Structure 1
Amino acid sequence: MNAPAPLIELAAVTKTYGQGQAMFQALRGVDLRIDSGEFVAVMGPSGSGKSTVMNILGCLDTPTTGSYRFMGAAVEQLDRDQRAMLRRNYLGFVFQGFNLLARTSAQENVELPLLYRGETAADRHRLAREALELVGLDRWADHTPAELSGGQQQRVAIARAIVTQPKVLLADEPTGNLDTQRSHEIMTLIRELNDTRGITVLMVTHEPDMAEFASRQVHFVDGKVDTDSLVPQETA
């Protein structure tokens, strides 16, 4: 019986920046397979290639050579507009710096991806409320980011990322600006979304204790996958 096709597959992916003496090879032949529903922590020192590979996975950049397949489609063969459609329909992004619009409410921030997708005002309002409720912030829908704590702002950012019901959530140092307690709250929320909603999570982090929330850890060194291992899960 054949194994199901992976959600994401990188094969011999390289990424080179610059030319001549300024040339830098950020990725040096990366092979990576990620199945639907996994929670993968991507780790490594600065310059290891982890951010570059996440940009490629998020369709924000393209490989120099090699293949990237998403749900069987060859992403490197898509044009800019097609990659934008893939991002809009299948990917959600969470960043270290929250990236919320300062003068708009939590509700309006969460509605933004739906506006780009052309949803009606009624549907935007309903879906944003549902997403805020899912992250425990429905009572804060009318507050601006300045009226929210760092942890609450990141919850709004997560609601914005999941409001389109993406297949994949890409999180770049999602707890980097938070204290330990808030970091654990955010990681618990992300793991719950992975467990209960089946959202595949790819997270860049340099913090080993945050990576422990993942089910798998992929370590990059010098533009290559150095280790790829499962995280032992607690048993009841």
Structure 2
Amino acid sequence: MAALIRLRGVTKRYGEGEAAFDALKGIDLDVEAGDFLAVMGPSGSGKSTAMNILGCLDVPTSGRFLFRGHAVEALGRDERALLRRRYLGFVFQGFNLLSRTTALENVELPLLYRGEGRRERRAAAMAALHHVGLAPWADHTPAELSGGQQQRVAIARAIVTRPDVLLADEPTGNLDSERSVEIMGLLTRLNAESGITVLMVTHEPEMASYARTLVHFRDGLVERVEGRA
């Protein structure tokens, strides 16, 4: 597998002078195309900061961030937004669905931002809902769906643009054990069948066990990387 993402000596400092805080202290990390990677570590370890940088939601203070060989740290705000829109999908713990719109309309949103036509949006959104097993619930609002179903809608929204990378921040954090297993099974299938690279932050070892690569953060550094067979 070719390296899709490469971090070299990445630091992130917040504040100045005596109030300065180094959230990342010079991390190196390679993410291979098609991998399923779980990021773990205690609160304050730097894992969320690293994921924000990987998702182009923040920029490093210093160091290199290469995506497909291109220097992301040199991009402007608009260029990073374009990279997010074209290549990245996001799934959050809190689902972040619009409460007064249907599942189908929620999934259409990224395509609306891209300026795609209504017919194309509708067809792609229905295909994404079908992929996560929710086509029959396309006309239901979030209030009419279970937590697991809402997270599947959120995943459909994340994959409707056919991203290279899916970034999932505690995707099972608001779900019970049965729904958590359901969502992890879905992420595993997406990774295996569609080749989407999955980067997931989790505190739960049971959820991390679905990943092929485990990255442990501590005190702003990558403590260790474990590969699974």
Unaligned runs of 5+ in 1: none
Partner of 2:164: 167
Q: How far has the Cα of 1:231 moved from its partner?
A: 2.4
Alignment correspondent of 1:149: 146
After TM superposition, give the deviation of residue 20 of structure 1 in Å. Answer: 1.6
Please report how far the alpha carbon of residue 156 of structure 1 lies from its aligned counterpart in structure 2 after TM superposition: 0.1
The one of 74, 79, 96 aligned to 2:76: 79
- In the alignment, which residue of structure 1 is the partner of 2:136? 139
Q: Which residue number corresponds to residue 202 of structure 1?
A: 199
- How large is the Cα RMSD of the aligned pairs? 0.7
Q: Which amino acid aligns with 1:215?
A: R
TM-score, normalising length from structure 2?
0.99
Provide the residue aligned with 1:127 in structure 2: 124
Q: Which amino acid aligns with 2:22?
A: Q
Q: Give the match for residue 180 of structure 1.
A: 177
Deviations 1:93-152 (A, max 9, x none): 000000000000000000000000111100000000000000000000000000000000
Q: 2:216 aligns with which of 198, 207, 219?
A: 219
**Residues 13, 22 of structure 2: 8 Å contact kept:** yes
Report the 3-state secondary structure (helix = DSSP H, G, I; strand = E; otherwise coil) of the residue aligned with 1:7: strand
Runs (4+) of structure 1 exceeding 3 A deviation are: none
Percent identity between the two aligned chains: 68
Q: Name 2:59's counterpart in structure 1.
A: 62
Superposed displacement of residue 5, structure 1? 4.7
* Deviation readout 1:50-72 (Å, 9 max, x if unpaired): 00000000000000000000011
Paired AA for residue 72 in structure 1: G
Aligned pairs for 1:21-40 (under 5 A) are 21-40=18-37
Letter of the 1:202 partner, please give it. L
CA distance in 2, matches of 1:111, 1:222: 39
For residues 231 and 217 of structure 1, the distance between their equivalents in structure 2, rounded to whole angstroms, comes to: 8
Distance 2:54 2:157 in 1: 19
Q: Distance in 1 between matches of 2:72 and 2:158?
A: 21
